Amino acid sequence: MAILGFDVGGSSIKFSVMSEEGQILRKGSILTPDNLEDFYSELVAAKEGLAAAYELEGAAFSLPGAVDDEAGVIGGASALPYIHDFNIKKALEEKLGLPVTMENDANCAALGEVWLGAAKYCQDVVFLVIGSGVGGAVVKGRRVHHGCHLHGGEFGFMVVDDKGTVLSEAASTRALAEHVALAKGMDKDALNGKEVFELQANGDKIAQETIEDMYSQLARAVYNIQYSFDPELFVIGGAISEREDFVENITRHLHAILDKVGIARIRPQVTRAEFGNAANLIGAVYHFLQQKQ
């Protein structure tokens, strides 16, 4: 038996067939349709193309938004407004003819790392995704902690100063690029994160100071989460985390915080995510397996 996985994004839908042991047997991708009927049609076509070769026991979805697997509804908002605010889980089960589970994309990424990746030996983990914002997930006992409003892991909403600045505005890749561009008198969209790090490498003082502030903000967030949830491990994801020195520099700022707070003896353990873009599919399947138990 195998599980069909779908990772639904704003521009593409990745899919895979995976064994219960986590082996990827087949994978592919399609463009994300701009309406619900085509969305269903594309999913059904992908499923039918794979069902001839594999005995499928269910379909596992990674989706944007406030995903409520129990109710079958996706709240919040995303780049795909047509998937929200109705029982889409029931509709998917009817269209695909398979049992369906669904989970938020960041939560799936965390579960992928917990199942087979950087946190595979851990029970309690915090997953931080650094991208256009700061998001993530809280994992307790190897299961996602959603919170009563499905906002568990929305670390980007944490306030970092008296002005009401939130972490996504202070420590995301997008914020980094905007801050440097504005400080240089440029349009706020003139730079991207990669270009800011290139400026830093060439000795640009503004880029250096802004990157250091980002590390400091992320380290402060990690410290505060450590002393509120007390996880075994922090896993950092997002394209920026692939930089060789990224985790190292967050850890350097963590040590500086701990040196100032003499009473704090627990040193947060921080590592890089292993799976990158594949984590969502792996985690969606792990969620499916958990729901079977």
pLDDT at residue 77 above 90? no
The rounded percent of the chain whose pLDDT value lies above 70 is 100
Question: Does residue 132 contact residue 98 with C-beta atoms inside 8 Å?
Answer: no
**Tens digits of residue pLDDT in 42-51:** 999 999 999 9
pLDDT at residue 1 above 90? no
Cα 71 to chain centroid distance, Å, stands at 22
Question: Angle CA(282)–CA(285)–CA(286) in degrees, nearest 5?
Answer: 85
Helix 205-229 and helix 193-201, axial crossing angle in degrees, nearest 10: 120
Domain 120-273 sits in CATH at 3.30.420.40
**Tens digits of residue pLDDT in 114-168:** 999 999 999 999 999 999 999 999 999 999 999 999 899 999 999 999 999 999 9
| Sequence ranges of the domains in the chain | 2-110+277-292, 120-273
The residue ranges of DSSP E strands in 48-162, in sequence order, are 56-63, 66-68, 73-75, 100-104, 125-130, 134-140, 143-144
2-110+277-292: CATH superfamily: ATPase, nucleotide binding domain (3.30.420.40)
Query: Mean of the pLDDT values across residues 71-100?
Result: 96
**Tens digits of residue pLDDT in 27-38:** 999 999 999 999
> 277: which 2 tokens?
């873009």
Question: What's the predicted TM-score (pTM) here?
Answer: 0.94
**Tens digits of residue pLDDT in 185-216:** 999 999 999 999 999 999 999 999 999 999 99
pLDDT at residue 293 above 90? no
- φ/ψ of 77, rounded to 5, equals -145, 160
Fold match between domain 2-110+277-292 and domain 120-273: yes
Ranges of H-type helices in the chain: 36-51, 88-96, 105-116, 167-171, 173-183, 193-201, 205-229, 246-260, 279-292
- φ/ψ of 190, rounded to 5, equals -75, -20
